[in-house]
Amino acid sequence: MGVIETTDLTKYLDQYLRINEFAESAINGLQVQGRPQIRKIGFAVDACLASFQAAKKSGADMLIVHHGLFWGHEQALIGSHFHRLRLLMEAEINLYAAHLPLDAHPEIGNNARLAQELGLEIDRYFGDYNGTPIAVLGASPAKTDAATLKKKLQALIGNHVRLDSFGPDEFRHIGICSGAGANLIPQAKSIGAAAFITGEPRQGYYHFAREEGMHVFYGRHYDTETIGLKALAAHISASFQLETEFFDIPTKI
């Protein structure tokens, strides 16, 4: 397996994930500095004690997460925040976070990968966040139905997928925004989506979908956001011959 300088890998990730294009509260990029060289990278959805312990046990030199430790506000180094940071620093594990850059990436992003794995062609991006589109509008090559799409999504992320089925019998256009993307349901409807896939349900959009005639699929926040990390792991492994490992720490949310 290969080895790379931490500074070189960080520079590559910053450019590949386009982290400077996203204006958000999350601090994207290297959040905690660790060892100067990388041989193994761990991946986890959340920057939590369990993922840090898994990274330490596996011998990872860097951990790449979707939800990082820092979100643009001051936080005292006490309680769980202190224990998380202490483990990282004592184990000299680099922590790298990519929030919206991982959702929106056209190749390994959560939304693009969900569309690709479901056999959809991406028509366009939508759902601007401070000027950068995050979500995707996908099109099925042939008309599909809610039951068929649910089975495909279940095969991809698990049988827990919830379907609120209020849309047409057959359709082609499907909006996708992983995680907490239910607020984009009206925008997806406005650009022609008959169905929408996201992670968490939100009370305020149930009746909108029902009254506007849309199918909405909820696959849980966590489960809709593992696919991009796994794709990034495969990309890094192929590009730099580094060892990678995904740590599955589900929340059922």
Quickly state the pLDDT bin for 73 (edges 50, 70, 90): confident
Quickly state the pLDDT bin for 234 (edges 50, 70, 90): very high
Distance, in Å, from the CA atom of 143 to the CA atom of 87, rounded to the nearest integer, reads 51
CATH code at position 26: 3.40.1390.30
Please tell me the predicted confidence (pLDDT) of residue 27.
Answer: 94
Q: Average pLDDT over the chain, rounded to whole?
A: 97
Clarify whether residues 77 and 111 are in a common domain.
no
Q: Is residue 9 part of a domain?
A: yes
Clarify whether residues 123 and 214 are in a common domain.
yes
Q: Is residue 162 part of a domain?
A: yes
Clarify whether residues 93 and 139 are in a common domain.
no
pTM of the prediction? 0.97
DSSP reduced 3-state for 30: strand
Among 78, 98, 118, where does a domain finish? 98
Q: Which residues contact 91 (CB under 8 A, 6 or more apart)?
A: 34, 52, 55, 56
Residue 16: is its pLDDT beyond 90?
yes
Clarify whether residues 94 and 108 are in a common domain.
no
| Closest of 208, 29, 205 to residue 101, by C-alpha | 29
Clarify whether residues 152 and 65 are in a common domain.
no
* 101-133 pLDDT per residue, tens: 999 999 999 999 999 999 999 999 999 998 899
Residue 208: is its pLDDT beyond 90?
yes
Clarify whether residues 84 and 144 are in a common domain.
no
C-alpha torsion 182→185→186→187, nearest 10: 110
Residue 199: is its pLDDT beyond 90?
yes
Q: Is residue 143 part of a domain?
A: yes
Pair 62, 237: CB distance under 8 Å: no
Distance, in Å, from the CA atom of 173 to the CA atom of 187, rounded to the nearest integer, reads 13
Please tell me the predicted confidence (pLDDT) of residue 1.
Answer: 82
Please tell me the predicted confidence (pLDDT) of residue 142.
Answer: 97
